[in-house]
Structure 1
Amino acid sequence: MNTPLAPVARLAGAVKRYGARVALDGVDLQLQRGELLALLGPNGAGKSTSIALLLGLLRPDAGRAELFGLDPQRIEARRRIGVMLQTATLPWTLRVGELLRLTASYYPRPRPLNECAALAGIGDLLSRYYGKLSGGQQRRVQFALALCGRPELLFLDEPTVGMDIDARQKLWMAIRALVAEGCAVVLTTHYLEEAEALAQRVVVLDQGRVLSEGSVDALRARVALARIRCRTGLDAAAVARWPQVASASCADGRLHIATASPEVVVRRLLDADADLRELEVLRAGLAEAFTELTRESLPEAA
């Protein structure tokens, strides 16, 4: 009989209050080795508090937080993680290579400097002063610092803020490579396309509670509407009055339709316009699922 693997990180019934405000209300959360978990939610949902509990920066008022089955404040647990927070204060007068060597010295088996630099794409920045770098370059350096200790668990809080598209894509490739090696990753991001591209599992928090948990596909399935785009001479206002159409509008020379019955609407479009072209049918993305989930929670919060 296969024995389930112990999670590398876990919250069990975690409760955290700030005065009268409940930031976390009985949250259960766990992460397995080699898994990338995206933690999503609007501002004030409890994402930062959840990470702070797992990092041992805060203590839960009730419930438990664990890293590798240990108290998150134990040094044995902390040496096995890497952290890239949303904001970081680093010495501006040190060169990038000096920062990497200094950080690596804190760990018993650090990753080689050149390997960290290659993964983060900062090989050309090692001799530069940290304070002279752009915001996106500083974020890449912070990512490299998080890798210095060969982490088994990596916390990435808004990792690609300030990066251009090319740098973001390269960071995604590095994250996928780390997950393939068996590293577990907790990702928080406001870029929903980032979570959609990287995450094996998504947890949506709101009002300190877990609204939904599952794969990206499972979350998409909760949204009934599909999107249709096409170039047509049909009038958007007329199409909007069709029984199966939730909404219709024109943008960038295309007709955009939202519908729960895409097959029916596509057949009617083809019948109504023989010159229809550039037809696309898109299922709901993570952004629509996230919006729908958080909208559903509003009446309960009120």
Structure 2
Amino acid sequence: MSAPVQLRGVTRRYGDTVALDDVDLDLEAGSLTGLLGPNGAGKSTLVNLVSGLRRPDHGTVRLFGGDPRDAANRVALGTTPQQTGLPDTLRVGEIVRFVGAHFPDPVPAGELLERFGLSGLWRRQAGGLSGGQKRRLALALAFAGRPRLVLLDEPTTGLDVEGRRALWDAVRAFHQDGGTVLLTTHYLDEIETLAERVVVLAGGRIRADGDVDAVRGAVRAGRVSFRTTVAVPDLPGVEHAGRDGDRVVLHTTDPDALVRALVRHDVPFTDLGVARASLEDAFLTLTGGTR
């Protein structure tokens, strides 16, 4: 069986801005992929291409083997864009039933609302929901048609802790049942909690692609942090340095050698910490230090 999503040589421009630049990407059936990148990296453009809202300037996009702009190929697709408009005067139950009616075997409305912590809001008008409740409803609608693939673009923005946990549980359950997920997010803990695969986009190109440990390994770095009141001299092996008051953080390919260099240079320090590269370290390094 071919991958549910295939991009080959995909380029998309907006005027002089290149959002995606010759991108190749497959999402295998049953995979859970986290898409990371700074603002303007091309994440939402990629999601819009896969969901048929945009078409590439060059290259091909395939959804379940066909053109994403063909509605027949989107029947098994669920999606939640960053911005979702809901009709204010319709009740929550009416919205869920309306969306479900577009699919041959929708999830029962009551079951869907309970899954996302909305069961007590059946008769509430959408205009009377809080921002977090509206976001939960938009997320629930992505799963209404029992999709095989869901595209979640910054899904937990604006959600409280309870809402994020509810989404995480729903995504895990969907994935365990064989569903395919593409998740874009700025929350690195979300990627580390959920994703099997991490794709890092920057400048419209894929900068890293692998599991969490592989992306960390792409940086080949550790992190040395300590407190000092003096200026730190230039030290060998430091790839990036940051300072906040008396707290210094140095990213290096060889943490042990860096600590020895601190001692040799008689740098007075306290509260020393040495850690492996985090996913955030990798993200910042691979995308040029922006989020």
Class of the TM-score when normalised by the shorter of the 2 chains: 0.7 to 0.9
Give the partner amino acid of 2:158: G
CA distance in 2, matches of 1:249, 1:24: 34
8 Å CA contact 2:28, 2:180 repeated in 1: yes
Matched positions, count? 286
Read off the aligned partner of 1:115 and give its amino acid letter.
E
Percentage identity across paired residues of the two chains: 45
User: What is aligned with 1:300?
Assistant: none
Alignment of 1:39-50 (within 5 A): 39-50=35-46
Deviates more, 1:61-70 or 1:144-153: 61-70
- The answer for the alignment partner of 1:124 in structure 2 is 120
Deviation at 1:106, TM superposition (A): 0.8
Does the CA-based 8 Å contact 1:244-1:261 persist in structure 2?
Answer: no
Q: In 1, distance between residues paired with 2:85 and 2:103?
A: 20
- Give the TM-score normalised by the residue count of structure 2: 0.85
Q: Distance in 1 between the 2:21 and 2:31 partners? A: 25
Structure 2 residues not aligned, in runs of 5+: none
Deviation of the 1:265 alpha carbon? 6.6
- Runs of 4+ aligned residues of structure 1 deviating over 6 Å after TM superposition are 265-269
1:284 aligns with 2:277: yes
Report how far residue 166 of structure 1 moved.
2.5
Decide which of 219, 222, 227 is 1:226's aligned counterpart: 222
Letter in 2 for 1:103: V
Q: Structure 1 residues 282 and 171, CA, compared in 2 at 3 Å: closer, same or farther?
A: farther
Mapped contact 2:208–2:218 kept (Cα < 8 A): no
Deviations, residues 117-160 of structure 1 (Å, cap 9, x unaligned)? 23222222222221111111111111111111001000101100
**Letter of the aligned partner of 1:143 in structure 2?**
L
CA-based RMSD: 3.1
List aligned pairs for 1:55-66, cutoff 5 A.
Answer: 55-66=51-62
Amino acid at match of 2:207: L
Task: Give me the whole-angstrom Cα distance separating, in 1, the residues matched to 2:185 and 2:121.
Answer: 26
Q: Match of 1:68, as an amino acid?
A: F
Alpha-carbon deviations, 1:31-61, whole Å to 9, x = none?
0111111222222222222112111112222
Aligned residues of 1:41 and 1:205 also touching (Cα < 8 A):
yes
Q: Pick one of 9, 14, 21 that aligns with 1:13.
A: 9
Counterpart mapping for 1:222-261 below 5 A: 222-228=218-224, 235=228, 237=230, 240=232, 246=238, 258-261=251-254
Report the secondary structure of 1:159's partner residue. coil
Measured in 2, the distance between the counterparts of 1:268 and 1:61 equals 52
TM-score (norm 1): 0.82
